[in-house]
Amino acid sequence: MMTLNQLVLASHNAGKLKELQALLGDAVRVRSVGEFSDVAPEETGLSFVENAILKARHAARLSGLPALADDSGLAVDALGGAPGIHSARYAGGGGDAANNAKLLEALCEVPDAERGARFVCALALVRHAEDPLPIICEGLWQGRILHAPRGTEGFGYDPLFWVPERGCSSAELASAEKNRLSHRARAMLQLRQRLGLA
């Protein structure tokens, strides 16, 4: 089992950082990669796992500390799994609002029964930049894409993601509730178990 005193979170996304911190609890002292650099590495992998490893190694190299990265995204059935690993830049860099607008447009003719989607989260933890055996955990969250945004909590695609088990969008869930249900929560529970924190 890996013993951790300090950990760098290898993300530049404020919404994600907040969730990761809450999910880790206070057993580990957490730093953010933003303390070391404003420049995010290019996400050149073909999978969530490859991109998570690449971001974790980059942060470990910058900080000299163990690093945890999250690569996540939304996979929509009717779009063959898109935007997938390209979720953050789906609309070419216009941010969350542009991404959501593009998604709604892409699905405008798609009926409810075919609007299935899942959030995907891959976590990678490396002890150091060249760690040959990263810890990998994954989580999925099944839902459906709404026809218009609902709610103001969360970030990213949350206003468009219908959560069947709660009958609301993920942007209408309190953060503690999202942190019990989400793809990130599921992946993080596995990670906490692997680390002996859960």
Instruction: Detail the residues annotated as belonging to a binding site for Mg(2+).
Output: 42, 71
Comparing CB distances to ligand ITT, the nearer of 2 and 97 is: 97
Q: How far is the CB of 102 from ligand ITT (least distance, A)?
A: 12
Positions marked catalytic: 71
What letter would DSSP give residue 83?
B
**φ, ψ for residue 67 (rounded to 5)?**
-135, 140
DSSP-assigned states of every residue in 16-72 = HHHHHHHHHTTSSEEEEGGGT-SPPPP---SSHHHHHHHHHHHHHHHHSS-EEEEEE
Helix axes 183-194, 14-24, angle to 10 degrees: 40
> Across the chain, which distance is largest between two alpha carbons, in Å?
51
What does the CA dihedral 33, 35, 36, 42 come to, rounded to 10 degrees?
40
Choice from 49, 59, 88, 188 touching ligand ITT (CB under 6 A):
88
Stretch that binds ligand ITT, among 68-76, 127-135, 142-150, 190-198 (CB under 6 A): 68-76
Choice from 54, 88, 126, 191 touching Mg ion (CB under 5 A):
88
Rounded to whole angstroms, the Cα distance separating 46 from 26 reads: 33
Q: Per CB under 6 A, does 172 bind ligand ITT? A: no
Q: Per CB under 6 A, which of residues 19..48 are in contact with ligand ITT?
A: 40, 43
Q: Can you say which residues are annotated as belonging to the binding site for substrate?
A: 11-16, 72, 155-158, 178, 183-184
Chain residues binding ligand ITT by CB under 6 A are: 11-13, 16, 40, 43, 55, 70-74, 87-88, 96, 99, 119, 154-158, 182, 184
Query: Which residues contribute to the site for Mg ion (CB under 5 A)?
Result: 88
